[in-house]
Chains A and B, each alone.
Chain A
Amino acid sequence: MNFANQVVQWFLNGAHWQGDGGIPHRTLEHLAMSGASVLVAAAIALPIGIAIGHFGRGGILAINISNIGRAVPSFAVLVIAVELFGIGALPAFIALVALAIPPMVTNSYIGMREVDADVREAARGMGMRDRAVLWRVELPIALPLIMAGIRTSAVNVVATATLAALVAWGGLGRFIVDGFGLQDYPMMFAGAIMVAILSLIVEFSLAGAQRLATPAGLRPSKPVQKEEPLGIARDPAMVAA
């Protein structure tokens, strides 16, 4: 277990915890870049998906944007952004925003479409105006799926932010890419572990947030089949048929 020991030693080295290249700073960088990208992408994608779902027009676009997004390699998006905007934080940010948009559009659209037509009718029958139907009926019911889209995007973004180390940006991917360059495999492995843990933390916390976002009236009184403990597969864009 010589290699495992080297990795442990790498983590125990105090120098790796200090300064701009240290673990805490790189982690914060990674989270700040990912968080900012997801927020900006949400500000663009959610109004589009919700509007398409609410007005019922352009559904084909909303569904297919995810399929198209999946077909375009994120690595290619990142490199194209570098060609357009140079190296560093800006191309990384723009590429991450572009990658985060499609799943949020699709999921918020599906969430809005899955609101039972009878429920909508009933709300109108109770005298609600269009805007009240949107804010007080459709959005709360669609919220879990909207959250599913945000979660899918956020996990993608944290993963792709790792690749951004290749285009001279920081974040935790730095340890992997530098470990590669220096053939310092313990550092590379340590970087991989930190990135994996960060992704899982993001996934688990957003899965929790999604559960909290489900309106009390829609929560099953007793847990239905515990099919996906991680919650990942609650993203309908990932299930075919």
Chain B
Amino acid sequence: MLATGVVGAAEDPWIRWSWVSGHVDVISAALVQHIELTLIAVVVGLLIAVPLGLLAWRSRVFRGPIFSLTGILYTIPSLALFSALVPFTGFTFLTSEIGLVSYTLLILIRNIVVGLTSVPEEVREAARGMGYRPLAELVRIDLPLAIPAIVGGMRIATVTTIGLVTVTALIGEGGLGSLIYDGLLRDFKTPLVVGTVLSVALAFAADLSLAGVQRVITPWSRGRATA
């Protein structure tokens, strides 16, 4: 589907605009798939990480195993994890997502625990003194104060995931990674450059948007912003 404009090219320039203008549909489909894979991974990652983060924060017994397990998942190289899943879940969207979600967990849980741990003890004492019950204290005091760290974790997890999505090109998904892989297979630089530039741009755009979200939902922290 991509094989045009490369046969007989004496010298392959870094970018061939005619290819780009002729493949807008292919490029935008890859971009959309990249965003989909990333969004689902981070949202599912967060759904798993919040309860595990709370558990790791509250219970010393669970903290060790939770960090060990997610740490091991984080350490396993992406290509190894994806290909270890293929015999069971095939060359599918599911395989990609299981891998991608696994990599978000350590980052998200780690930041949730750091955020919750950094809530000053006096603040929690005061909340209890004002009659907050444990659940209300968690929802209205602890979690809001941990938001900067949690969103910070989401930023790192999102940017990391956007990079890892490119590797899923090898199992037939990949979003913009499929352009990079195509560039490698055909020794044709244009899709490689387009895929790389868009992937980096997407990472920066996602990072800035999450930073914006963080500013909007934590009005009290403005003025002493943490980067």
On chain A, the residues within 8 Å of B81 by CB distance are: 192, 196
Q: Are B80 and A191 in contact (CB under 8 A)?
A: yes
- Shortest Cβ distance from residue A86 to the other chain B in the assembled complex, whole angstroms: 10
Query: Knowing A70-B156, A75-B167, A239-B111 touch, does A176 contact B71 (C-beta < 8 A)?
Result: no
Q: Quick one: which of A214-241 are within 8 Å of B by CB?
A: 225-230, 232-233, 238-241
Query: Knowing A75-B166, A176-B83, A196-B77 touch, does A233 contact B106 (C-beta < 8 A)?
Result: yes
CB-contact partner of A200 in B67, B75, B114, B152, under 8 A: B75
Name A3's closest neighbour in chain B (CB-CB): B87
A118 at the interface (CB under 8 A from B): no
Bound state CA distance, A74 and B64, in angstroms?
30
CB-contact partner of A73 in B64, B115, B199, under 8 A: B199
A128 at the interface (CB under 8 A from B): no
A23 at the interface (CB under 8 A from B): no
CB-contact partner of A239 in B76, B114, B177, B207, under 8 A: B114
Q: Are B110 and A229 in contact (CB under 8 A)?
A: no
Chain B contact surface mostly: helix
On chain B, the residues within 8 Å of A109 by CB distance are: none
Bound state CA distance, A144 and B113, in angstroms?
22
- Shortest Cβ distance from residue B143 to the other chain A in the assembled complex, whole angstroms: 14
A76 at the interface (CB under 8 A from B): yes
Q: Are B80 and A196 in contact (CB under 8 A)?
A: yes
Q: Are A229 and B68 in contact (CB under 8 A)?
A: yes
- Shortest Cβ distance from residue A10 to the other chain B in the assembled complex, whole angstroms: 12
CB-contact partner of B200 in A63, A72, A229, under 8 A: A72
Q: Are A180 and B83 in contact (CB under 8 A)?
A: yes
Q: Are B83 and A191 in contact (CB under 8 A)?
A: yes
On chain B, the residues within 8 Å of A189 by CB distance are: 83-84, 87
Q: Are A230 and B67 in contact (CB under 8 A)?
A: yes
On chain B, the residues within 8 Å of A73 by CB distance are: 162-164, 166-167, 177, 180, 196, 199-200
B53 at the interface (CB under 8 A from A): no
Name A232's closest neighbour in chain B (CB-CB): B71
Query: Knowing A71-B162, A233-B67 touch, does A167 contact B184 (C-beta < 8 A)?
Result: yes
B149 at the interface (CB under 8 A from A): yes
On chain B, the residues within 8 Å of A75 by CB distance are: 163, 166-167, 169, 177, 180-181
Pick from B60, B107, B110, B148 the residue with the most CB of A within 10 Å: B110
On chain A, the residues within 8 Å of B114 by CB distance are: 239, 241
Query: Knowing A188-B86, A226-B64, A240-B153 touch, does A70 contact B110 (C-beta < 8 A)?
Result: no
Q: Which 5 pairs show the lowest CB-CB distances between chains A and B?
A: A240-B152, A159-B77, A230-B71, A71-B203, A192-B84
Having A155-B75, A160-B77, A166-B170, one finds 19 other A-B pairs with CB under 8 Å, namely A67-B159, A71-B162, A71-B200, A73-B196, A76-B180, A76-B195, A79-B184, A159-B80, A185-B87, A196-B77, A196-B81, A199-B76, A229-B68, A232-B74, A233-B67, A238-B156, A239-B152, A240-B153, A241-B115
